[in-house]
Amino acid sequence: MSNLLQFSISEVLSLLEKKEFSTKELVETYINAIEKTKDLNMYLTTCFDQALEQAKISDQNYLNGNQRFLEGIPLGVKDMFCTKGIETTASSKILKKFIPTYESTVTQNLLKEGAINLGKLSCDEFAMGSSNETAAKGEVINPWNFEEKRTPGGSSGGSAAAVAAKAALAATGTDTGGSIRQPAAFCGVVGLKPTYGRCSRWGIVAFASSLDQAGPITRNVSDAALMLQVMSGYDPKDSTSSNINVPNFYNDLGKSIKGIKIGIPEEYNSNGISSDILEAKDITINFLKENGAEIIPVKLPLTKYSLPVYYIVAPAEASSNLARYDGVRYGHRINGNSLDEMYENTRNLGFGDEVKRRIMIGTYVLSSGYYDAYYLKAQKVRRLIKNEFNEIFKQVDYLVTPTTPTTAFKLGSTQDLLTMYLNDVFTVPASLAGIPGISIPIKLDNNKLPVGIQILGKDFDEQGLLNVANVIESCASFKDTPNGAAS
Amino acid sequence: MTNANKNSNYISGKTGDWEIIIGLEIHAQVLSSSKLFSGASTEFGKDPNHNVSLVDAAMPGMLPVINQTCIKQAIKSGIALNAEINKYSVFDRKNYFYADLPQGYQISQYKYPIVGEGSLKITDANGEDKVIGIERIHLEQDAGKSLHDQHPSKSFIDLNRTGVALMEIVSKPDLRSPEEAASYVKKIRTVLRYIETCDGNMEQGSLRADCNVSVRKPNGDLGTRCEIKNLNSIKFISQAIQYEAERQVEILENGGVIDQETRLFDTSTGETRSMRSKEDAHDYRYFPDPDLLPLELTDSQISEIRSDMPELPDQLVERLISEYGITKYDANVIAEEKEYVHFYENSAKNRDGKLVVNWMTSELFGLLKKNNIQFNQNPISPNYLNELVELIENKTISGKIAKDVFEIMFATSKSPKMIVKEKGLEQVTDDSAIEDFVDQVINENKDKVIEYLSGKDKLFGFFIGQVMKVSQGKANPGLVNKILKSKLK
């Protein structure tokens, strides 16, 4: 068969079942694609031998008619997920050569259903960043206009780039303040951040526990539904995972959205937002109208506080979550003449600047004398933001916003940290509220770079969210392929 | 100050009396087979790093899950200490770096503990009841152990204890002397052992205390306190408080000021020394652990535990007094350990409670102490003590003979009936046999009989003694008395 890389998950599953090609051929094709796209610097570690072994099992299962839900689907896994026997570094020097003895619940769920792990994908160090520039092994290059060396976004930059460059059929990501949605927008793929608690956090390197959530990055909406189906579920090992029914996410796709109320928040319209993005938003609104949805302008006045709240809460949790990387038990250690000196050496050389910066901010906002003014206040405002979303969802079913203020910028072009942090301005509110959000590509801008639109929904309404996204996707009919993709 | 107001708890210094103010933080290891947030075993004495799960070692991506057994144990302890059970409590992270603290933080409870205010009745130095306030009980993780003496340049880390559940029981500053503090710790230990929420094993570190000590002029303003960390015996707690209070008095009387600091007690010298000052105190950056949801309890959960509570020591003391007619002092002695109570109640079944308590607390405890035997190794079963007392009650043997029998029981674990039978120690209660002994004594002491009959009443005791002697102590003293009286008319 000609180009196996072009097929989506559902297509691959049906073709494998029809024995049009074997899982082995499929995995070999992807291995080849990974080799061809090496210059994009997406994979930190590959596990091809293991993948080929798995492919044999998958082929056997197809032969026997025992195929599982995602039998033979070759995936890339963000390096934040602990993978048994495979180096897991969270893109940090401090976890160099760390090989977990356990598999994260989410990746285990995928493997259990027959998915195949091709390797570990780069990300910002400990998922802290919006450009993949903080990765210890260097930045990932966006496959769109790859010669211009643009950012794939972050933190799941490797995941989004690999899916766009066809170096993985789909990938896992984690989203703390936009780390799935923003890179998905920059790379022209679909990125879904589920409701907080939908997927287990067990075995995912923690950045900010109250915000971290795993989700899929895929070529299209129905693939996202299939991936989420398997990734989701209550896990007694994660006290914050929700013991709530996992519905069938893909069967309802294609359902009419007639009469559904879509809110357009006026605040998601900051200075510096590019006209291409505003245009994409208008196009999307038209698609929705054409399909019978009711468009309602809404106000979310607390939106402006989201970014400051996020940059207090996330670093605070991170400063504590990252205390375990002390060189004592695993990972990188640089000796010193005393315990304190060993800590200092290890953490000084083990962590990059952005991680250190956030640890310092987090330590500061939790310090006695500052706690009330920063952390406690931020938590209160976070609660108000959540309430504001709850209220708005009494009026509308979904919200449509741009995913990012701009399209992918050039690597190294953003010197100013605040500008960098502003990348997350449209994605952070949903993270703080814990609600699900999805980014889907709509069009290309003048620079031939993809523009993403974000849809937000109520807690645990991923099903409806995917359905709306599916409608927009059909209308947008975004079929372009980046010039850096494997073929 | 008049003598009547003189308080024996005071320290008398050059400038007058000083009152000691003590508050205790007791760390009691929760009796549970697994740790507070992981499934690892809590078994004591395992090889280093044997009881360690991925969570305990703080591997990346690991998450804590609350052990419901530990929650129940804390609630039970709170109920036993007459405390309010908080239906809403929160686990916080207490952040600090140490090599035996893998997470870089201890999960504890800060603003919202699981148990609120309560109280505990203790017996003060004068034997009077005194109620000590409990401020709160919270649950927290224990840290691991650093071993610094295993290698010339390296420290070793043992994580077996890491994550084991502790209850921190914080008292109000209501204690006024080292003796009261000791009595309080003993009572807490007794209560927790009773309800089986802590084994109270101080040598193994299952129960240890931090003592906050300050001194003041009687009824004056509170002084600056020092905290003495990690005392693991009741003796050390008393010694450390005494030393620390005297140290503070000496400083104050010499015009000095007390620095608020954390101190350590040196068990070899009996002195406390500074560990760190207030300025060096850690900023623990407490914040709610985002990996754990707030702990919410329902009324039915709490009332279920409440209805399942075993009898508590104070209730038991009341019952022992009314049911067995023993003194409060004796009841308190028995109530100190559950195994004493069990033993006592079995021994006293259908017997004279007072008699049994005397045998138990003086004879049995005496022999155990003399032979350095633990109570649970006690060779005498409660059935046999019951039997022995029965033999006394039905006059098969006299109290004096019973002591000999008891010693044989202690040495051989044999039944007292068997011993009495084998050795022929039954009391003679047969009138004719006693009459024979009496006749023999009268015949052998005719001169004394004449003296007695002529008015020397005091000789009666002599005749009793002689009859007992002739009967080898087996004659029933009451009968001897009666028969002698009738024969010597």
- Closest chain B residue to the Cα of A209, Cα to Cα: B290
Domain presence at residue A109: yes
The shares of helix, strand and coil residues in chain B, as percent rounded to the nearest 5, are 40, 20, 40
Report the SS3 class of residue A354.
Answer: helix
ipTM of the complex: 0.96
Asked, as a colleague might, if the bond just before A155 is cis with ω within 30 of 0, I would say yes
Q: B104 in contact with A at a CB cutoff of 8 Å?
A: yes
Among A352, A368, A384, the domain boundary falls at A368
Phi, psi of B429 (to 5 degrees): -120, 5
Enclosing domain of residue A41? 4-258
Among the listed residues B344, B421, B328, B423, the one whose alpha carbon sits nearest the alpha carbon of residue B378: B344
Task: Write the secondary structure of B282-293 as one string of H (helix), E (strand) and C (coil).
Answer: CCCCCEECCCCC
**CA–CA separation, A231 and A105 (whole Å):** 8
pLDDT at A1: 52
**Tens of pLDDT along A119-154?**
999 999 999 999 999 999 999 999 999 999 999 999
| DSSP class of A142 | P
Domain presence at residue A162: yes
**Looking at the structure, do residues A250 and A330 belong to the same domain, yes or no?**
no
Every domain of chain B and the residues it spans: 7-305, 311-423, 431-487
Domain presence at residue A427: no
Packing angle, helices B328-335 and B313-324, rounded to 10: 130
pLDDT at B397: 85
Domain presence at residue A398: no
Contact B61 A316 (CB under 8 A): no
Mean pLDDT over residues B407-430, rounded?
86
Are B291 and A209 spatial neighbours (Cβ–Cβ below 8 Å)? Answer: yes
Q: How many domains does chain A have?
A: 2
Distance of CA B30 to the CA centre of its chain: 17
Are B367 and B407 spatial neighbours (Cβ–Cβ below 8 Å)? Answer: yes
**Looking at the structure, do residues A316 and A249 belong to the same domain, yes or no?**
no
End-to-end Cα distance, chain A? 13
**Looking at the structure, do residues A138 and A237 belong to the same domain, yes or no?**
yes
- Closest chain B residue to the Cα of A339, Cα to Cα: B99
**Tens of pLDDT along B71-95?**
999 999 999 999 999 999 999 999 9
Phi, psi of A121 (to 5 degrees): -100, 140
pLDDT at B435 over 90: no
Q: Which residues of A touch B105 (CB under 8 A)?
A: 320, 323
Q: Which residues of B touch A375 (CB under 8 A)?
A: 287
CB atoms within 10 A of CB B27: 19
**CA–CA separation, A105 and A81 (whole Å):** 9
Give the DSSP per-residue string, A292-329.
TPEEEEE--TTHHHHHHHHHHHHHHHHHHHGGG-SSSS
Mean pLDDT over residues B239-263, rounded?
95
Q: B281 in contact with A at a CB cutoff of 8 Å?
A: no
CATH 3.30.830.10 for domain B431-487, yes or no, is: no
The ranges of chain A with pLDDT < 50 are none
**Looking at the structure, do residues A22 and A122 belong to the same domain, yes or no?**
yes
Sign of the alpha-carbon torsion through A191, A194, A196, A197:
negative
Are A183 and A191 spatial neighbours (Cβ–Cβ below 8 Å)? Answer: yes
**Looking at the structure, do residues A203 and A343 belong to the same domain, yes or no?**
no
Report the SS3 class of residue A84.
Answer: coil
- Up-side HSE of residue A62: CA atoms within 13 Å toward CB? 23
Distance of CA A397 to the CA centre of its chain: 23
Between A and B, how many residue pairs show a Cβ–Cβ distance under 8 A?
A: 99
Among A368, A394, A413, the domain boundary falls at A368
| DSSP class of B23 | E
Out of A291-295, B19-23, B173-177, B451-455, least confident range: B451-455
**Looking at the structure, do residues A240 and A314 belong to the same domain, yes or no?**
no
**Tens of pLDDT along B369-383?**
999 999 999 999 999
Residue A398 tokens read as: 């979904």
Domain presence at residue A403: no
Are A332 and A350 spatial neighbours (Cβ–Cβ below 8 Å)? Answer: yes
Give the active site residues of A: 78, 155, 179
Domain presence at residue A453: no
**CA–CA separation, A460 and A232 (whole Å):** 11
CB atoms within 10 A of CB B315: 12
CATH code of the domain in which A136 resides? 3.90.1300.10
Q: Which residues of B touch A95 (CB under 8 A)?
A: 60
CB atoms within 10 A of CB A236: 11
Packing angle, helices B178-194 and B68-80, rounded to 10: 130
Contact A368 B155 (CB under 8 A): no
**CA–CA separation, A229 and A109 (whole Å):** 10
Contact A324 B285 (CB under 8 A): no
**Looking at the structure, do residues A58 and A169 belong to the same domain, yes or no?**
yes
Phi, psi of B215 (to 5 degrees): -130, 155
Using a CB–CB cut-off of 8 Å, the residues of A that contact B are 81-82, 88, 90, 95, 98, 100-102, 104, 201-206, 208-210, 236-240, 316-317, 319-320, 322-324, 326, 328-330, 339-340, 343, 363, 366-368, 371, 375
Shortest CA gap A319–chain B (Å): 9
Site of tokens 């309800």: B195
**Tens of pLDDT along B7-21?**
778 999 899 999 999
**In A250-302, where does DSSP find H-type helix?**
275-290
- Closest chain B residue to the Cα of A205, Cα to Cα: B61
Domain presence at residue A287: no
